[in-house]
Each structure stands twice: as C-alpha cells, then as structure tokens.
Structure 1
Amino acid sequence: MTLISVRPVPFGTGRSVPTLMIMRLSFLTGSGRRRHLDPGETLLWEGEEAIFVANVVSGVMKLSTQTSDGREQILGLAYPSDFIGRPFTETSPYSVEALGEAVVCIFRRLDFERFVHEHARLEHKLLERTLSELDKTRRWMLLLGRFNAEERLATLLLEVASRNTLPIDGNAGQFDDEQFELPMSRQQIADVLGLTIETVSRQFTKFRDEGVIMISGHRTITILRRDVLEALAT
C-alpha cells in the first residue's frame, strides 16, 4: 500500500451520495489522506487491528471473510463514496481488497470515533449504515445461496450499473444509466459470484445473443433490456 498524498482530500467523488453525509464536515475533510492500492492489494485484513476507517474514492473493493475450512466467502463490494471499516471495533471483522487500481481516503479510527462521540447526528448515521450493511449481507447470502448463474449475473450487472455509469458524450454532469464500465475481469466476477469463469462467459454470451446487453470493447456494457435483468434479479 503506497501513500501517494499527504495533503487533505475531499471525502467523496462521483455521482453517488456517501453513506455518511455528515463526514463532509471540515474535520474529516482536513484529516483524510489518500492512499493508492494496486490490483489485488489488501487494505484491511480480517482479525487484525483496525487502525483506520476509509472512504472509497475510485475503484471497487471486495469485502470477504474466511470460513472455518479456510475458504474465502465474499461479503460484498464497495464502490466509490462507500464507507469501509468498523468504528468502535478494535479488530477488522473482514478483509478488504482492491479488485483493480483503487484510491481510498483514510481516517485514523480513534480520531473518527472521537469525532462521532461529539456529534450525535453522526452516531445516528452510523446506526443507519450498520442496519443497511446487515440488509446488504442478507441479500448477498440470498444471491449466492438461492440464485442460479443467470440470476446472479443479472443482479450484479444491475448493481454495477447503478454505481458505475459512464458520462453521456457532450453532456457534462449527465450520466447514462444504461451504460457502464465493468470494474472487474470475468475471473473476478466468477470469484465474486461463486461461479466458474466458463459459466460467467456463457451467461454474458447468452445475454448478448438474446439482446439483453451489448458488449463494447473489453468491459463496456450497455443494458438493452433492463426489464429482463430486473425480472431475473427479483
């Protein structure tokens, strides 16, 4: 992990609204530091001391845990503006790894906790975030436990589309909700969804041939039949 800037940085970037809006306060804006992560680099290790919390500035992070038999269990993904880490916990409950190149803004956990104690509204936001995380984890377990390959990929495509859309050409500040860049390789998608890369490739081909999506270049996806994906994801 490489420290690439020692100057204060803004809390979040991009379209999505940070989970903890109150963190835009000048205290955190002034105390955050950028860190660059290479693909596959781990930001937090499960069970190790939680020295800091962080906000994803760019890239996508994978949250995972180890099962009792040593297998990796994916808990979810973190996108730009998402908050990662667990305040008021001395050790990290999960590992956080960059799927590709990523930039995060980190804050010392103890400083963050001190700030939370002084601002009741932020404590409320943290509770909301915790409950939201529980809901996301339940949905993720449902995805991996009960959905078939087609349903899993449809769900992931809709999730990425909602968080990683591309700007519309010639329209500054406007984004195309139907076109996005996949932030991970097909092998990474297979790992995240608990599938083989062959199965993932077949499902992409099926969606393309049936006119559900259009694939441009290596990773640009355009959704042509959102209704089909939504039906599969519910």
Structure 2
Amino acid sequence: MNAPVLSQSRCADCPIRHRAVCARCDADELEQLDAIKYYRSYEAGQPVIWSGDQMSFVGSVVTGIASLTQTMEDGRTQMVGLLLPSDFVGRPGREGAAYDVVATTDLVMCCFRKKPFEDLMERTPHIAHRLLEMTLNELDAAREWMLVLGRKTAREKIASLLAIIARRNAALTPGDDTDTAEFDLPLTREAMADYLGLTLETVSRQMSALKRDGVIQLAGKRHVTVPDMTRLLDEAGTDSED
C-alpha cells in the first residue's frame, strides 16, 4: 500500500536544505523544484522501492533512516548501505531501482517526479553539479566502508558506525558544538550486526565495553551521548580531520 502524501512546506524551511540536492539552488530554481515535488511518509519496516522496480520518482530523505539491501540468487540478503537525512534516493536516467530500499525508522522523503526532475537537471547546472558532488561523496564513503568491514576490529567497526551517525546528525544543525554529540541510534543491534558483518553478541559486548570505558553513554538501548568526539574517532581509527 502506498504511504500517505504529506502536506507541502516551503523549501526555505526544510531541515536538510543546506545539504540536499537543492543546496545550491537560487530562489527561481527552488520554485521550479517546488512545482514537481511532493512529500511521502513511510512507517518503519515499510518498503520504499524494491530492486528492479521501475522508479517514478527520485528524492531526498528528510527525516529518518532507510536501508539499502541486496538479495542474492539463493535468497540471502545483505544490507549494503544506509540512507540518512539529505541522502538522495534514485538515479536520474536509470529506469529501475538497483537495491531494495526499506524504511528502518519512520521516514519522510521529499520526492520529485522523475522525468520532470531529469528535464530540470538539463536546464539547471546547480542541481546537476550538486548531484555529481553527492555521488562522488557517496563513492568515497563506500570505499571508506570497505576498509571498515575488511580491516577494522569489531570495536573499531562499532565506533566507526557511531561516529558516522554522530557526524551526520551534527551536520544537520550547523554551528553546534562538535566536541560532544547526542543522538538516538536509528538501528537495532540486530541491524547493526547485519550491517557490520558481526554477531549480535559481539555488537552487544562492544557497545557495553565502549560504555564501560566512558567512550559513550547510553540511556536505554538507543539514546547515545558521546562526551568526547575526538576519543570516539580515535577508537574508530579515524582521522578527526577526515
């Protein structure tokens, strides 16, 4: 069943405005985007698109988290990525979806009708350039994630994932203190284990160890406070300037 369409709001008030595909658009270009956009909400666990399905839209995650999953011929599945606020869904010029996209949490997306968006890209270099920049950033992130999965220890993997979520959360509120971080973990520990290639027991053990060592503070299972981002990045084996 299709998710309900949300009421429209002004682009200037959008919480991801400075990071999304429209980040460099001027007022006239935003008006053109506004004419082809609509909002759609999904409940946690609801599919956004299945691999191979024809996509009638592209868009950006406004709030919430979605997972990218690939299914092998024998039915096994692997989570291959996360879509966080401001991340772009869909590929202009490509008819079908490459991955299953499923809402991990309650999700709101700003969607654009695909063909009008493709036409607008040809007339609006700001959009095309920004999308290219986001695609290259995504490629860099994928290469970095190969290192996380292939070479880092279980503790470093957990710390890396926490650091990524903390940094992306902080990026949505420019000017905030970057020495500390506080956020709700968008993944269950089972999902973290799947994404990181670890067992559930290992994830739970390493989360408890990071808490015991004062690297993070936990309220319940999901609310995370990072008192010192530099220390978390050190635990992740990540350059603080990266």
TM-score higher than 0.5: yes
Counterpart-to-counterpart distance in 1, 2:155 and 2:221: 20
Q: Which amino acid aligns with 2:78?
A: Q
Q: Which residue of 2 aligns with 1:106?
A: 111
Identical-pair percentage: 37
Alignment match of 1:52 (pick from 54, 57, 60): 57
1:164-179 to structure 2, matched below 5 A, reads 164-165=169-170, 174=176, 177-179=180-182
2:39 maps to 1:39: no
Between the aligned partners of 1:22 and 1:92, the Cα distance in structure 2 is 26
Give the partner amino acid of 1:88: G
Q: Which amino acid letter does the alignment assign opposite residue 94 of structure 1?
A: Y
After TM superposition, list the pairs within 5 Å mapping 1:1-234 onto structure 2: 1-5=2-6, 7=8, 10=11, 12-13=14-15, 17-22=19-24, 25-165=30-170, 174=176, 177-234=180-237
Alpha-carbon separation, structure 1, partners of 2:83 and 2:42:
14
Instruction: Please give the per-residue CA displacement for 1:3-48, whole angstroms capped at 9, x wherever unaligned.
Output: 2325455384158622441467112123221111111111121121
Contact 1:178 1:224 in 2 (8 A): yes
The answer (yes or no) to whether the contact 1:20–1:83 under 8 Å persists in 2 is no
Give the structure-1-normalised TM-score: 0.86
SS of equivalent to 1:2? coil
How many Å apart are 1:117 and its aligned residue? 0.9
Aligned length: 230
Task: Write the letter of the residue equivalent to 2:189.
Answer: R
| Distance of aligned partners of 1:99 and 1:175 in 2 relative to their CA distance in 1, 3 Å threshold | farther
Between stretches 223-232 and 193-202, larger displacement belongs to 223-232
Gaps of 5+ in 2: 238-242
Q: Report the more deviating stretch, 30-39 or 4-13.
A: 4-13
Identify if the C-alpha distance between structure 1 residues 36 and 154 changes in structure 2 by more than 3 Å, giving closer, same or farther: same
Instruction: Write the letter of the residue equivalent to 1:85.
Output: G
Code of the residue aligned with 1:203 in structure 2: it is Q
Cα separation, 2, equivalents of 1:138 and 1:6: 38
For the Cα contact (< 8 Å) 1:20–1:125, is it kept in 2? yes
Query: For 2:10 and 2:119, how far apart are their aligned partners in 1?
Result: 20
Q: 1:45 to 1:99 in 2, by over 3 A?
A: same
Change in Cα spacing, 1:139 to 1:71, as seen in structure 2 (3 Å) is: farther
